[in-house]
Amino acid sequence: MTGIRIALTGNPNVGKTTLFNALTGSRQHVGNWPGVTVEKKTGRIDWNGHAIDVIDLPGTYSLTAYSADEVVARDYIIDENPDVVVQVVDATNLERNLYLTTQLAELGVPVVIALNMADAAEAGGYAIDREKLSALLAIPVVRTVGTRGEGLDGLLDAAIREAETSPHHEHTVGYGNDAEAMIASIVDVLSADKDLTKRYPLRWLAVRLLEGDENALAKIRDSPAFTGVQALLSGIDPDEYEAAMADRRYEMIAAVLPQVRTAGAGGMNVSEMVDRVVTDRYLGIPIFLALMWGAFELTFAVAAPFVALIEAGLAWLSATVAGSIEPGWLASLVGDGIIGGVGAVLVFVPNIFILFLILSFLDDTGYLARAAFIMDRLMYAIGLPGKAFIPMLIGFGCNVPGIMAARTIEGEKDRLITILVNPFISCSARLPVYILFAGAFFGAGAGGVVFLLYILGIAAAIGSAKLFRHTILPGESSPFIMEMPPYRLPTAWTSLLHMWSRGAMYVRKAGTIILVGALVVWCLASLPFGVDYGSSASLAGALGHLLEPLVAPLGFDWKIAVALLFGFVAKEVVVGSLGVLYGTGEGGDALSMALLADPGLSAATALALMIFVLLYTPCLATIATIRKETGSWRWAGFSVAYGLVLAWLLALIVGHIASLFLGGA
């Protein structure tokens, strides 16, 4: 059995990931590319006696790198020498897709084209002559429909054939006499360096050097040929060559297209008509808000029965554990610690998965790209690109995938700011705290209070973004360019997969970080041995008393200090901890009554508490994610400190103002 490495590349939005999923099924491994926060997906296929590793590269428009994604894609193809590169091409958008093909051909790697979305092209009236295209480009072209798994066998056969053929043909763009003479002289100088000759195709390197690509220049910096090349390039204007050469590539493509494609009916298509409405300067934002409101309404409506089911299951499990495990401390560890802690997170799984399913659906239809465009002007005002609103939107479900979604943002400073303000977006884990306190202290006005908390969270995010932009991360937000893919009706399967890839992060968080946190909480509340769980005499109680002076100005006593401390693990834990501390058990009306009856708590204190919970660190998993995504503990620590200070200040101010109107505090 021989091993073959296939690198899957292509423009963004061509169905590359869908094709990858169809090829590899469940045999995938998701990791990170070393040193960067770009997801690395690999999969293994056994095919006719070949062990094939498929590497899904990030989408890229060209082999010149602009964002971290593109650098990964380019470096893999250039430096890792995959046996064959499969370029996934959107059959409805040949012209732009073939630009990347011309660059791949120049690189001299064996290429196979997967002419994907072939069904959409045919439905749009395009007939593409694959054999002719293949002959003109000297590249095998295979028809595929990733969403239905069509053409996969043919694609694998062609890829293996190409990988095993050597030497394969190269068919590169001719750049005209002037440029070709320059390329020839550069190749001549470069060929003196045998080491370089082994590593890179010299024609490709020469073309890149002539275009003035800094990366190509860096590759030859240590070569003895460097000074020679510099001398050749000194007299010319690389910008002029660059424009002329890009033009040549498109001319070549323009010469190929009419020979292989019979165009369908032109004119204004459906996507364009929809865009006229949804991106309208007046209608765009109301439509967006209505859709988002609908998404959240639908989420809570659909999730409610599932939540009830999980709650019932957990209650049954706790009761069973309490009755059947000896000794008592072990029952408490399993019941209060593990089931209570992890259960508090699991209860949100239906909400989060359904919200992600709706967002994935909107993303897959192409609407979210439009929403980013609509939001760009608003986001620009706060110093962020339009794309930054997608992480925020996801943050309403859970900050962990929200922060991860910031990966698509190109500018490093833009990305950092987007990450740092995400914790202020009120995730669904904070809702039970609001429901408990707003419900107990604000009665009929509870809904309004909760709504205002969400608005306050958004305002804190916007204000902080502006603050960061003017202080620690100065600069302009990077220019916004985003492809508007044609509207498509996603299949249930692709939306579900998409949902799973986001939602799984949340489940993993419940399974790992929250579990550890819950165990720590349990230990603090149970030690030293013999104390009542979570009582004043426990370690937790001692910590609470220690912290009490810090939160006393806000009107919080030691019990709340303990609950907030435990809330670092996850915000849901605040409610559970209070249940333990007030001796009323997990949530429910008993806890509301106990809180109302506490003379130390007033409506103003409750408001201050909710604001504190909104603004301080959402959970351990968020801190860990910020650490991972920014690559430094410094930013994670900054986020925690900044959140605490902001939470403390706003809770103090609002609490005092509210006490003037509401009395108490």
Place of tokens 């301080």: 616
Three-class DSSP category at 85: strand
Nearer to other proteins, 197 or 279 (CB): 279
Q: In the 8-state DSSP scheme, what is residue 345?
A: H
For residue 114, the surrounding DSSP H or E stretch is strand 111-116
Nearer to other proteins, 372 or 449 (CB): 372
| Closest CB 69 distance from other proteins, rounded Å | 11
Among 28, 185, 271, 512, binds other proteins (CB under 8 A): 271
Q: 577 exposed, middle or buried (CB, 10 Å; 0-12, 13-18, 19+)?
A: buried
Give phi and psi for 658, each to the nearest 5: -65, -35
Q: Is 178 in the site for other proteins (CB under 8 A)?
A: no
Nearer to other proteins, 395 or 486 (CB): 486
Residues 97-126 that bind other proteins (CB under 8 A): 99-100
| Closest CB 117 distance from other proteins, rounded Å | 11
Interface stretch with other proteins, choices 133-141, 279-287, 290-298, 321-329 (CB under 8 A): 279-287
Among 47, 250, 306, 500, binds other proteins (CB under 8 A): 250
| Closest CB 481 distance from other proteins, rounded Å | 5
| Closest CB 173 distance from other proteins, rounded Å | 13
Q: Is 93 in the site for other proteins (CB under 8 A)?
A: yes
Binding mask 614-643 for other proteins (x = CB under 8 A): ------------------------------
Interface stretch with other proteins, choices 32-40, 60-68, 349-357, 562-570 (CB under 8 A): 60-68
Size of the site for other proteins (CB under 8 A): 49
Three-class DSSP category at 486: coil
Interface stretch with other proteins, choices 157-165, 267-275, 550-558, 586-594 (CB under 8 A): 267-275
Q: Is 92 in the site for other proteins (CB under 8 A)?
A: yes
Among 28, 37, 42, 62, binds other proteins (CB under 8 A): 62
The neighbouring-strand residues paired with 141 are 113
Alpha carbon 112 to chain centroid distance?
Answer: 29
| Closest CB 196 distance from other proteins, rounded Å | 22
Separation of alpha carbons 397 and 406, rounded Å: 15
| Closest CB 36 distance from other proteins, rounded Å | 17
Alpha helices in 92-168, H assignment, sequence order = 94-107, 118-123, 130-137, 152-164
| Closest CB 67 distance from other proteins, rounded Å | 8
| Closest CB 35 distance from other proteins, rounded Å | 19
Q: In the 8-state DSSP scheme, what is residue 314?
A: H
At a CB cut-off of 8 Å and minimum separation 6, what does 199 contact? Answer: none
Nearer to other proteins, 253 or 604 (CB): 253
Nearer to other proteins, 374 or 570 (CB): 374
At a CB cut-off of 8 Å and minimum separation 6, what does 246 contact? Answer: none
Among 66, 296, 300, 454, binds other proteins (CB under 8 A): 66
CA atoms within 13 A on the CB side of 63: 28
Burial 371-391 (b: 16+ CB within 10 A, else e): bbbbbbeebbebbbbbbbbbb
Among 46, 80, 95, 532, binds other proteins (CB under 8 A): 95
Residues 331-390 that bind other proteins (CB under 8 A): 369-370, 372-373, 376-377, 380, 385-386
Place of tokens 């370690």: 539
Nearer to other proteins, 127 or 243 (CB): 243
Question: Which region, left, alpha or beta, applies to residue 383 given φ > 0 means left and ψ of -120 to 50 means alpha?
Answer: left
Give phi and psi for 350, each to the nearest 5: -60, -45
Place of tokens 């890149």: 208
Residues 433-492 that bind other proteins (CB under 8 A): 476, 479-484, 486
Separation of alpha carbons 28 and 392, rounded Å: 28
| Closest CB 248 distance from other proteins, rounded Å | 10
Q: Is 542 in the site for other proteins (CB under 8 A)?
A: no
Alpha carbon 273 to chain centroid distance?
Answer: 29
Among 272, 297, 532, 589, binds other proteins (CB under 8 A): 272
| Closest CB 89 distance from other proteins, rounded Å | 12
| Closest CB 482 distance from other proteins, rounded Å | 5
Alpha carbon 219 to chain centroid distance?
Answer: 31
Give phi and psi for 90, each to the nearest 5: -80, 110
CB 8 within 8 A of CB 16: yes
Among 9, 60, 495, 639, binds other proteins (CB under 8 A): 60
Nearer to other proteins, 247 or 589 (CB): 247
Question: Which region, left, alpha or beta, applies to residue 263 given φ > 0 means left and ψ of -120 to 50 means alpha?
Answer: beta
Separation of alpha carbons 606 and 653, rounded Å: 13
Among 127, 243, 283, 455, binds other proteins (CB under 8 A): 243
Q: 497 exposed, middle or buried (CB, 10 Å; 0-12, 13-18, 19+)?
A: middle
Nearer to other proteins, 352 or 371 (CB): 371
Separation of alpha carbons 7 and 476, rounded Å: 35
Separation of alpha carbons 108 and 167, rounded Å: 10
Nearer to other proteins, 133 or 611 (CB): 133
Instruction: Sort strands 2-10 and 84-90 into parallel, antiparallel or unpaired.
Output: parallel
| Closest CB 238 distance from other proteins, rounded Å | 8
Nearer to other proteins, 383 or 503 (CB): 383
Nearer to other proteins, 352 or 384 (CB): 384
Nearer to other proteins, 162 or 364 (CB): 364
Residues 203-242 that bind other proteins (CB under 8 A): 211-214, 239, 242
| Closest CB 428 distance from other proteins, rounded Å | 30
Q: Is 649 in the site for other proteins (CB under 8 A)?
A: no
Nearer to other proteins, 410 or 586 (CB): 410
Separation of alpha carbons 608 and 652, rounded Å: 7
Place of tokens 């508007």: 484
Among 44, 50, 96, 199, binds other proteins (CB under 8 A): 96
CB 89 within 8 A of CB 17: no
Alpha carbon 439 to chain centroid distance?
Answer: 34
Q: Is 279 in the site for other proteins (CB under 8 A)?
A: yes
Separation of alpha carbons 645 and 658, rounded Å: 20
Interface stretch with other proteins, choices 226-234, 246-254, 543-551, 620-628 (CB under 8 A): 246-254
The neighbouring-strand residues paired with 128 are 261
Q: Is 545 in the site for other proteins (CB under 8 A)?
A: no
Nearer to other proteins, 194 or 281 (CB): 281
CB 498 within 8 A of CB 403: no
Q: What secondary structure does DSSP assign to 55-66, as a single string?
A: EEPPP-SSSS--
User: Where along the sequence are the contacts to other proteins (CB under 8 A)?
Assistant: 60-62, 64-66, 70, 92-96, 99-100, 211-214, 239, 242-243, 246-247, 250, 271-272, 275-276, 279-281, 284, 369-370, 372-373, 376-377, 380, 385-386, 476, 479-484, 486
